[in-house]
C-alpha cells in the first residue's frame, strides 16, 4: 500500500502528525504533499522540524489567493504529483481548499480518497469550509468519523455505512504526543511573564468575523471588557490579515495584548495553561476540550457540538454582552468533563483500517 498524505495548513499538519508517525512506525510506503496554502516553505520546514516529522516530499507553494484561483492551482499541482506517484489512496484531513482539491484530483484519477475528520457540519453554507466538508465527504471512499454523531450525520446524507469508520479524532493523539515534545522545548509563559491560570487567550481569524467592521469591533470590545471585569490579561496572537483589519477599521484595541502569531509549540503551551480561551477556531474548540480548558466560541454555530454537550464550550455569538456573559458562565464550570473525541489512538486505527481494506 502506498499512501499520499495531502496537507496545506498548519492545523492539517498537526492533525495528520499521528497518522504520519503511525506510517513510519509500520514502515508503510507514504509521502507528504504540501500545497503551501498559507505559509512559506521556510516557516513550514521549521514547523515539521518542531513536531519531529519528515519533510514534505512535494511543496506546491500555492499561497493565498481567491478561493477559485487557489483551488484551481491546487487541482493542477496535486493531479501532476498523483499521476507521477500512483498512490493507492490519498489521505486528507479537515475542510480547507487543499482538502477539496485533493479529493477531487484523486477521485478523477481513480485513486481512493480517505477523509480524516469526516462528518462535521455547522449547517452554515456561508462558510467556505462547510462546502469543502460536504463535497469531500461525498467523493470519499473511506470516511474516518471522529464521533458516533459524525457517523450518524453521514448516514443521514445517504453515505453507505460500510464506508464510514468511527476512529476518534486525531487531535487527541496530536495534543498529547505534541505536548510532550512542547514541554521539553519552550517556556512561553516565562517569555510573556504570565502565570498559569491567570490570563485569557483569544484567537479570532475567520473571514466572517474579521472582515466585518461592526462584528470585529464588537469582539475586540468584548475582550477589553474581559480585561476590565476580571483584572487579567487577554493575549491575542493575531494573524497579519486580522491586524490589518484593525488598522483599516481604526479599532481601539489598547487593552488587549496583540502579539505576533506563535509557532505551534508556543501556542499549545499558552492554550493549555489559560484560564479560558475565546476563539472562532474549530480546532481550538477541540483542543481546549481535550486539555480541560474552558472555551467560549465567537460564532453563532459550531461543527463540534460534542464540546457543547460535555460542557467545555459555550456558543457566544459575537455581541460583546453575550461574550462577556459566556465568559462569566464558563469559568464557573468544573473542569472535569469527559473527552468526547476518542482514546488517542485514532492514527493507529486509521492506518490499521487502510491496511485491512486497501
CB 32 within 8 A of CB 5: yes
Mean of the pLDDT values across residues 166-182? 90
Task: State the catalytic residue, choosing from 67, 193, 205, 239.
Answer: 205
pLDDT for the residue 40:
61
Lowest mean pLDDT of 33-47, 71-85, 114-128, name the range: 33-47
By mean pLDDT, which of 33-47, 112-126, 132-146, 237-251 is the weakest?
33-47
Q: Which fold, 2-169+342-357?
A: Rossmann fold (3.40.50)
Q: What is the pLDDT of residue 186?
A: 73
Task: Answer whether 2-169+342-357 and 187-330 agree in fold.
Answer: yes
Pick 230 or 265 by higher pLDDT: 230
Q: Given pLDDT bands bounded at 50, 70 and 90, which one contains residue 88?
A: very high
Question: What b-and-e string marks burial along 120-137, b requiring 16 or more CB atoms within 10 Å of the CB?
Answer: bbbeeeebbbbebbeebb
pLDDT in tens, 15-70: 999 999 999 999 999 999 999 887 665 566 778 888 889 999 999 988 878 889 99
Q: What is the mean pLDDT of residues 84-104?
A: 97
- The one-character DSSP state at 157 is T
| Fold designation for 187-330 | Rossmann fold (3.40.50)
Residue 50: predicted pLDDT = 84
In the predicted model, is pLDDT for residue 281 greater than 70? Answer: yes
Please give the backbone phi and psi of residue 200, each rounded to the nearest 5 degrees, phi first. -110, 150
Chain-centroid distance of CA 74 in Å reads 20
pLDDT of residue 265: 85
34 is a catalytic site residue: no
For residue 185, pLDDT beyond 80: no
What pLDDT score does 39 carry? Answer: 62
Average of per-residue pLDDT values in the chain:
94
| Domain definitions of the chain by residue range | 2-169+342-357, 187-330
Burial class (CB in 10 A: 0-12, 13-18, 19+), 138: middle
Amino acid at each position: 500500500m502506498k499512501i499520499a498524505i495531502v496537507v496545506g495548513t498548519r492545523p492539517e499538519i498537526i492533525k495528520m502528525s499521528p497518522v504520519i508517525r503511525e506510517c513510519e512506525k509500520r514502515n508503510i510506503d507514504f509521502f507528504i504533499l504540501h500545497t503551501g496554502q498559507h505559509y512559506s516553505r521556510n516557516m513550514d520546514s521549521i514547523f515539521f522540524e518542531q513536531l519531529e516529522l519528515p519533510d514534505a516530499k512535494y511543496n506546491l507553494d500555492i499561497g493565498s489567493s481567491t478561493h477559485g484561483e487557489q483551488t484551481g492551482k491546487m487541482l493542477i499541482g496535486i493531479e501532476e504529483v498523483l499521476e507521477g506517484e500512483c498512490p493507492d489512496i490519498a489521505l486528507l484531513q479537515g475542510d480547507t481548499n487543499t482538502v477539496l482539491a485533493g479529493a477531487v484530483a484523486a477521485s478523477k484519477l481513480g485513486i481512493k480518497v480517505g477523509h480524516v475528520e469526516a462528518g462535521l457540519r455547522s449547517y452554515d453554507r456561508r462558510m467556505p469550509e462547510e462546502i469543502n466538508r460536504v463535497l469531500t465527504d461525498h467523493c470519499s471512499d473511506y470516511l474516518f468519523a471522529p464521533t458516533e454523531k459524525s457517523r450518524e450525520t453521514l448516514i443521514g446524507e445517504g453515505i453507505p455505512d460500510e464506508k464510514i469508520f468511527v476512529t476518534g479524532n486525531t487531535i487527541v493523539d496530536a495534543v498529547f504526543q505534541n505536548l510532550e515534545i512542547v514541554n521539553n522545548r519552550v517556556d512561553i509563559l516565562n517569555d510573556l511573564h504570565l502565570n498559569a491560570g491567570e490570563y485569557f487567550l483569544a484567537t479570532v481569524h475567520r473571514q466572517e468575523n474579521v472582515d466585518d467592521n461592526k462584528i470585529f469591533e464588537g469582539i475586540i470590545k468584548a475582550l477589553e471588557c474581559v480585561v476590565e471585569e476580571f483584572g487579567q490579561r487577554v493575549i491575542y496572537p493575531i494573524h497579519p490579515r486580522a491586524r490589518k483589519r484593525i488598522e483599516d477599521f481604526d479599532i481601539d484595541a489598547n487593552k488587549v495584548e496583540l502579539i505576533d502569531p506563535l509557532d505551534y509549540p508556543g501556542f499549545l503551551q499558552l492554550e493549555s495553561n489559560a484560564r479560558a480561551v475565546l476563539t472562532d477556531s474549530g480546532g481550538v474548540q477541540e483542543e481546549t476540550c481535550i486539555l480541560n480548558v474552558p472555551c467560549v466560541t465567537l460564532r453563532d454555530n459550531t461543527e463540534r457540538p460534542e464540546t457543547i454537550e460535555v460542557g467545555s464550550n459555550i456558543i457566544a455569538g459575537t455581541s460583546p454582552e453575550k461574550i462577556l456573559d459566556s465568559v462569566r458562565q464558563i469559568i464557573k464550570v468544573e473542569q472535569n468533563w469527559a473527552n468526547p473525541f476518542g482514546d488517542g489512538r485514532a492514527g493507529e486505527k486509521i492506518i490499521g483500517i487502510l491496511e485491512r481494506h486497501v
